[in-house]
Structure 1
């Protein structure tokens, strides 16, 4: 998860990771339902109804191709809010505790994998590969 201003050096690193690994990368994105199952299997959570979070995830899921988003919302650690669209796998993690948000976001991002569209974006691929420690 990007938590600070992106520098020219960040972009340079991500672009190099992208270019050096582009040929061997394949689409590996799991479904939203599979991502939700992963989350539920790996985190202690309470499923809650948070209309504002549902709306935020719904808007972004629609921008990412979902015609009928089906959103699940959770609370982790008492103050971290997670929303997942079961159709597209779009997710949102929010809290005042940026460190915990980044840990959960990074884990879900890696676990979800990359779509065909993602594979054309050097920033997304670079972040993904950086998290995998390429």
Structure 2
């Protein structure tokens, strides 16, 4: 059985955690994974920027970072900037929870081995993100 934990460490925004668990669970089931331990951590921009600097040596803001910890059984952490998600949700005129859900799906796909370095890979991931967003409604 998959264990999915959602931690909201954002200082202001409160979001319902169950929808993010459902998104991650849907992707894991689709990927044939039934014994994963995944943590989704919701942060602000400054906290994710610090992680990006410390672990990837990147000095810029990002919306999501994924850290695979174990392959078998799958274990990983997905860090999401609620601030970036809010900006992106505003740009797309969608609710914040939907954008955070998309980022949780995106991070889970990375844990399953998907990448988005090329245009073709990005398009494939976006198609999968849209598929799972429709499934969980």
| TM-score normalised according to structure 2 size | 0.30
The structure where strand makes up a greater share of residues is 2
| TM-score normalised according to structure 1 size | 0.30
